[in-house]
Amino acid sequence: MRKSIATVSVSGTLTEKLAAIAAAGFDGVEIFENDLLACPLPPEEIRLRAADLGLTIDLYQPLRDFEAMPVPDLRRAERKFQVMERLGADMLLVCSNVSPDAVDDDELAAAQLRLLAERAAAHGIRVAYEALAWGRHVNEYLHAWRIVRLAGHPNLGVCLDSFHILSRGSDPIGIEAIPGEKIFFLQLADAPPLAMDVLQWSRHYRCFPGQGGFDVAGLTGHALNAGYTGPLSLEVFNDHFRQADAGRTSRDGMRSLIALEQALDGSAHPAAPTGFAFAELAASGAVVEVLAALGFARTGRHPTKPVELWEQGGARLLLNATGGDPALLAIGLDTPDPAKAAGHAQALLAPVLPRERERQEAALDAVAAPDGTQIFFCDATWLGDFSPAGPVAGEITRIDHVALTQPWHHFDEAALFYRGVLGLRAQESLEVADPYGLLRSKAMSAPGGAVRMVLNLAQVGTGDIARQHVALACRDVLAVARRLRARRPDLLLPIPGNYYDDLSARYDADPALRELRELGVLYDRDEHGEFLHLYTVTLGRVFFEIVQRTGGYQGYGAVNAPIRLAVQRAGGH
Amino acid sequence: MRKSIATVSVSGTLTEKLAAIAAAGFDGVEIFENDLLACPLPPEEIRLRAADLGLTIDLYQPLRDFEAMPVPDLRRAERKFQVMERLGADMLLVCSNVSPDAVDDDELAAAQLRLLAERAAAHGIRVAYEALAWGRHVNEYLHAWRIVRLAGHPNLGVCLDSFHILSRGSDPIGIEAIPGEKIFFLQLADAPPLAMDVLQWSRHYRCFPGQGGFDVAGLTGHALNAGYTGPLSLEVFNDHFRQADAGRTSRDGMRSLIALEQALDGSAHPAAPTGFAFAELAASGAVVEVLAALGFARTGRHPTKPVELWEQGGARLLLNATGGDPALLAIGLDTPDPAKAAGHAQALLAPVLPRERERQEAALDAVAAPDGTQIFFCDATWLGDFSPAGPVAGEITRIDHVALTQPWHHFDEAALFYRGVLGLRAQESLEVADPYGLLRSKAMSAPGGAVRMVLNLAQVGTGDIARQHVALACRDVLAVARRLRARRPDLLLPIPGNYYDDLSARYDADPALRELRELGVLYDRDEHGEFLHLYTVTLGRVFFEIVQRTGGYQGYGAVNAPIRLAVQRAGGH
C-alpha cells in the first residue's frame, strides 16, 4: 500500500521535513497548513521540490469551522483551492466544526459541504470530511459519514483518523458500513492510554502505530475490508517528535507502517528469540573481579578478537578488551533461524551491522538497537568459536533481563523496535522516582520470559550517567550474597536500614528478614510469587543485579528501584 | 506564621533537601516516607541533622490504606510510630483509603481511626486524617471531618490540603465549620488549570501557591478564620521541581508563602510600576544601525559609564558598550516610590543588586530577575544623569513590551516573581509551534498595560539561542516599515508570501493587504481591535518588534509567532 505522512509529524522547516520524509521511503505527504504558511517558498516551488523528491502531495489540511454555519465562508475555501492548485494537491481535509457559532443541523451541514464539493470539483479537488473527537456537534465518524451520504456529491467523502475514532472508544467495525470509494483518506495515529482532555491528548501525546495502546491495525483492517484503496497516512502530534531528528522520526514512522502491514498480513514474528545467548561488555579488571566474586569462570577465548567468554550455569558473558569504560556493547539472542530474523529486522529498517569474521568463524547477523547496543541473532554455532572449557556450576543459572537507558526523545521508537524487530511484548510501564527526577521505565518480554528487556528513560535534567545493567537469575540469592559478602563486601550496593524497617512494617516479621538486612538483599512480591534481588556497585556505566524469582513472580522489583537509585546517586556507587 | 515544606517538593537526597530547605528559612519539614527509606542515615541522625539546621519535623507522611478495612493493620502502624519516635516526629498523616478492599462505612472508618489515635497517643503522636481527591470512599474534606468528629479522639484531627480540596471544585468555606484545634495540619499547593485525571494532575503538575490557578490564599484564610494555628506547609509534586536546584526551589517556595501572607494581610503591591523607564542593551554597531534606521537618536551619555541614551518619543534605550554580543541587560521601571518597591522585592527574596554610583548620580535600586535580567526601580531623577538633549519626535512612542526567555525548569518561578515582585497580573498563557519544538509563553501586565512582559520557555531540545526582544509601540507601523524598507531593507525580517495568501483568505480583501505584504507587516485582530507589527532581524540574542495597537487590542500577535519563529530558524535571521 502507498505510505504517506503529515508534515506536522516531524521536526523542522517544511523543506527539511520533505527531505527527511522522502529519504525514509514515503510515497506521499499531507501538507499541514501551518507548515506551508511559514515556508518562504511559494506553493509552485514546494510542488516541484516534492516531485523532485518523489513525493506526491496527497492531502492539504485542514480547513476548519466550515460546515453548519449560519453563513458558510466559501470565499476562504476558494482561496484555499487556489493555493492547492498551485501546490498540486487534489484533496482537502475539512475537519468538523468546533465553533460556538456552528449549528446542530445535519441537513445544513450536508448542504454546505455539497456546495463546497461542487466548488472543489471545478478545481479538480475532492473534499474529505473528518469528525474531530472534540467537534462541537459532529464528533463520531459514523455521524460524519451520515452527513457525507446526505450530501451525496461525488467529490465529497470521509476522512477516517484512528485517533479520533479510538480515543472516544468508538467501535471501528462500523467503518465496514462505508463504501470503500467514499473513504477518501485514512489517517493513522496511536496513543498511550491517558486519562486526560482528548484535545490535549491528541495535540501532545499521539505516537506512531504500535507505540501506544490502540489497535490501529485492526481499524486499518476494517477500512481495507470496506474497500479503501488510498494511502496509509501517519498524522502524529507529539512533543518529542517535534524536537527529535526529522530523519530518525521519519524512519521510525515508516517502520511503524511496515509493522502494521505485517500485522495485517497476520504474519507472526518469523524467528522470535528463545533466550539470551550472551551479553557482551567492554571489560576492565574491575568487571573481572566482580564476575570472579560472583562465581563466574573464564571458559574460552575468541580465536582472533580480544574477547573472553565467562560462564556460570547458562549465563554467558563476553568480556571485550577493546578499551573504554565498562559498558554493555551487545546482546546475543538465541534465535531458531538467525538469517530469517536478520532479514525480518532489516525489513523493519533496523540498521544492519557489517559482519566481521575470519574463515571458519560463525557468521553472526546483527543489527543496531536505538541506543546503539548491538543485537546478535545466534544459533548454537557461535559458542564453538570460543572452544569453551565446559560447564561451570554455581547458583547463577542464566541472564534474567537486560536494562538499557534509551536516548532522550526516542523512547517510543525503542518500544516499537523491540516489539517489531524482536517480537517482544510490552509488560508494565511505570515511573520511578530518582532523587533528581523521574525515570520512565517499560518492561518488554518474549513469551514465557525467555527474553526480558527493561527500557529506561531518564528525565533530561537528571544529569546521571546512562546506567545499564545485566540481571542474572539464580537459585538462591542469599547464597550468592553470602559469597559476595565474604569475598568482596565492597562490591555490594549498600541498602539503607530504613528500607528494612519499612519492609518489616509491610510484611509479617519473617526470620529471613534479618538476613536480608545483613546481606543487602531486597524483597518484593506479587500475586504470583516472590522476588529477592541484590545489586553490585556500578562499574563505568554498568552494574549487575542478581535475582531470584519464586512462584511465577512477573515483575522486576520496581518498588525497590527508588532505593537503588538514591543509593547509587548519593554514594557515587 | 510558621512555614514548613514537604521533602518531596524539592530535588535531591534527604540530607541535600534538608540543607536547602533550612537555607531558605523554613521552620519545619514534612518527611515524605520514601525520602526516609532511601536515606542511609538512621532516623536518630536525621533528627539531629534537622535540629542542627533549625528545622522541626512537623509531619511524617503518609500512612496509606489504613481505615475502613475489614481488618486494620495496626502492626504496620505501630512500626511507623516507632520510626517516628526515633525521628522525633509527633504527627502522622493518614490519607484516605484507595484500596478496593476498603469498605464504604463511616462508622467503621471512625472506629478504626479512633483505635489508631489511641495507639498513637501512647507514643505522644497525633494523627491527621486527609481526604485524597481520589480516595475510594472518602474524597471530600468535609467527609473526612465527619469521620474525625465521629471518632471523637483528642489525638485525631484533619489534615487539609488545598490541592485535594480545590481540584475537586469543593467550596473551601466549609473549613470554617471545623474547630481550629481539630485542623491538625494545612498543606498548601497550587496547580495550573488542566483537564486531566486528578491523580496525574496532582503527582506531576502541582506548583507553589500563586503559580497556578487556585485561590490558595482564600482557602488559607478560611483555615485561619476557623482558628488554625499550625504551620503553612507546602506539599508539591512537580516534574520540574524534581529536577531543578533544591536551593532555588526552596527559596521559590518561601517566596510563595511570603506572598501568600501578604495576600492574607490584604496588602496591595506598595509601589507597582507605571511604565518602562528604559531598556538597557549590550550594544554593538549593528544595534546602533537598527536604532538609527528606526528613527532613534542619541540624546545623552552617562557621565561615568560607557552608556549612551537613545530616544524616540517616550521610548528610551540605553546602549551599554561593555562588550559582548547584543543582549538585553536591564529594564528600568517607572516606580512611584523606588525605595519601597525595592524593599518589597527584597522581602520577596529577590536578589538585590549592589548599587554602584558616583557622587551626584541618581541612586538606583535594582534586583535580579530569574533569568538574570536586572530590574531597576526608577523615579524621574535617573534621566538627569544623561543630560539628555531634548525630545526626539517620530512614529515610535514608547516601549510596548519586553519578551524574555526563561531558564528551563524556572518558568513557574518567573511567573511568581513578576507577579509578586512587580505586581504584574497573568494575561494569556499559550503554546506556540517552533519548527524544532513548542514554546510555552505567558504574558503578564500591569493594570492598563503600562508595563507588559512576555515570558517564554523553549522546550529543552530546541537548541535555539535564548532570544529576547523589545517591542516598541508606534502610531503608524506602515510608516515605520516604509522608512526601514527605504533605508535598510536588510534589517526587516522577511515574511513568507504564503502568510499573506492565508491572510487574504481569512480576512476580506483589504487594499492595505498589498502594502502589508510589500512591507513585511503582520496582522491580527481580537474583539477589541487590531494589531499590526513587524520584526527586525536578530542581533546577538535580541531583536526589535514595532507594534501598533488600535481600538484596545489586548494581545501580542501570538497567532503570527510561529511564522516569525520559522523565518528566524530557517533563515538564520
Query: Which letter does DSSP use for residue B187 in this model?
Result: E
Rounded to whole angstroms, the Cα distance separating A220 from A266 reads 13
Using a CB-CB cut-off of 8 Å, the residues of chain B touching A200 are 194-196
Mean pLDDT across B14-31: 98
Compute chain B's Rg from CA coordinates: 28
Cell numbers linked to A565: 537509585
- C-alpha cell at position A487: 569475598
Interval B90-138: pLDDT, tens: 999 999 999 999 999 999 999 999 999 999 999 999 999 999 999 999 9
Residues in A 444-483 with any Cβ partner in B closer than 8 A: 459-462
Mean of the per-residue pLDDT values for chain A? Answer: 94
Structural domain tally of chain A?
1
How do residues A536-549 score in pLDDT, each as one tens digit? 999 999 999 999 99
Q: For B455-502, how does the pLDDT look when each residue is reduced to its tens digit (9 = 90+)?
A: 998 765 555 668 899 999 999 999 999 999 999 999 999 999 999 999
With a pLDDT cut of 90, the percent of chain A lying above it is 86
pLDDT in tens, A303-317: 999 999 999 999 999
Length of chain A measured in residues: 573
ipTM: 0.92
When CB atoms are compared, the residue of B11, B42, B83 closest to A435 is: B11
Rounded to an integer, the average pLDDT of B188-203 is 94
CB contact (8 A) between residue A498 and residue B83? yes
Tell the burial category of A210 from Cβ atoms under 10 Å away from its Cβ (0-12, 13-18, 19+): buried
Percent of chain B with pLDDT strictly greater than 70: 97
Q: Report the pLDDT value the prediction gives residue A459, as an integer from 0 to 100.
A: 65
> Which of A72-76, A355-359, B252-256, B505-509 bottoms out in mean pLDDT, i.e. has the lowest?
A355-359
**Beta-carbon separation of B562 and A40 below 8 A:** no
Nearest residue of B to residue A502, measured between CA atoms: B37
Set of chain B residues whose Cβ sits within 8 Å of the Cβ of A565:
38
Task: Tell whether omega for the bond before B62 is within 30 degrees of 0, i.e. cis.
Answer: yes
Residue A45: its chain B contacts at CB < 8 A? none
Is the pLDDT at A479 greater than 70? The verdict is: yes
Which of A37, A85, A119, A203 to mutate to test binding with chain B, by most B CBs within 10 Å of its CB? A37
A53: left (phi over 0), alpha (psi -120 to 50) or beta: alpha
**A181 within some domain:** yes
* Residues A90-125: tens digit of each pLDDT: 999 999 999 999 999 999 999 999 999 999 999 999
Q: What is the pLDDT of residues A272-300, one digit of tens each?
A: 899 999 999 998 999 999 999 999 999 99
- Is A86 part of any domain? yes
Residue B72 has pLDDT above 70, yes or no: yes
pLDDT score of B349 more than 80: yes
Torsion of CA B115, B121, B125, B128, to 10 degrees: 40
Q: pLDDT value at position A545?
A: 98
- A461 pLDDT more than 70: no
| Residue A10 per-residue DSSP state | S
**CATH code of the domain containing A83:** 3.20.20.150
Helix (H) or strand (E) holding A306: none
Q: What is the pLDDT of residues A4-61, one digit of tens each?
A: 999 999 999 999 999 999 999 999 999 999 999 999 999 999 999 999 999 999 999 9
CB B409, CB A461: distance < 8 Å:
yes
* Inter-chain CB proximity A438 and B408 less than 8 Å: no
Residue type present at position B380? A
B393-397: average pLDDT: 97
Q: Is B153 annotated as a binding residue?
A: no
Please, are residues A444 and A427 in contact by the beta-carbon 8 Å criterion? Answer: yes
Q: Is residue A15 part of a domain?
A: yes
pLDDT value at position A464?
61
Stated as kind and residue range, the H or E segment containing B352 is none
* Total H helices, total E strands in chain A: 18, 23
Q: Is the pLDDT of residue A498 over 90?
A: yes
Using CB atoms within 10 A of its CB, is residue B323 exposed (0-12), middle (13-18) or buried (19+)? Answer: exposed
pLDDT band at residue A380 using 50, 70 and 90 as cut-offs: confident
Helix (H, G, I), strand (E, B) or coil at A91: strand
Instruction: Give me the amino acid identity at B161.
Output: D
Give the residue-averaged pLDDT of A220-247.
96
Number of cross-chain residue pairs from A and B with Cβ atoms under 8 Å apart:
166
Q: What is the pLDDT at residue A536?
A: 98
Has residue A520 been placed in a domain? no
Question: Which phi and psi (to 5°) does residue B233 adopt?
Answer: -125, 125
Residue appearing with cell numbers 541498602: A495
Q: What is the pLDDT of residue A354?
A: 83
Residue B487 lies in a domain: no
| In-domain check, residue B560 | no
Digit-coded pLDDT (tens) for B398-432 = 999 999 999 878 899 999 999 999 999 988 789 99
Q: Is the pLDDT of residue B509 over 70?
A: no
Contact B160, B185 (CB under 8 A): yes
B502: chain A residues, CB-CB within 8 Å: 33, 37, 79
Q: Give me the pLDDT at residue A376, please.
A: 95
Half-sphere exposure of A481 (CA within 13 A, CB side): 22
Domain assignment present for residue B510? The answer is no
What value, to the nearest 5°, has the Cα angle with vertex B134 and ends B131 and B137? 65
What is the Cβ-side half-sphere exposure of residue A193, based on CA atoms within 13 angstroms? Answer: 7
Q: How many separate helices (H) and strands (E) can be counted in chain B?
A: 18, 23
- Cross-chain CB nearest to B461 (options A75, A83, A409): A409
pLDDT, residue B573, reads 75
Domain of B22? 3-264
| Residue A13 falls inside a structural domain | yes
Q: Which pLDDT belongs to residue B357?
A: 62
Q: Which residues pair with A74 in a beta bridge?
A: none
Q: What is the DSSP string of B194-227?
A: --B-HHHHHHHH-B-TTSSSS-HHHHHHHHHHHT
pLDDT > 70: percent of chain A: 97
Residue B244 in contact with partner chain A when CB distance is under 8 A: yes
Task: State whether the Cα torsion A8-A10-A11-A16 is positive or negative.
Answer: negative
Return the amino acid letter for A388.
Answer: P
Helix boundaries (H) for A235-284: 239-243, 246-264
For residue A160, what pLDDT is reported? 98
Q: How confident is the model at residue A509 (pLDDT cuts 50, 70, 90)?
A: low
Q: What is the maximum span of chain B, computed from C-alpha positions, in angstroms?
A: 86
- Enclosing H/E stretch for A428: strand A425-434
Q: Is the pLDDT of residue A345 over 90?
A: yes
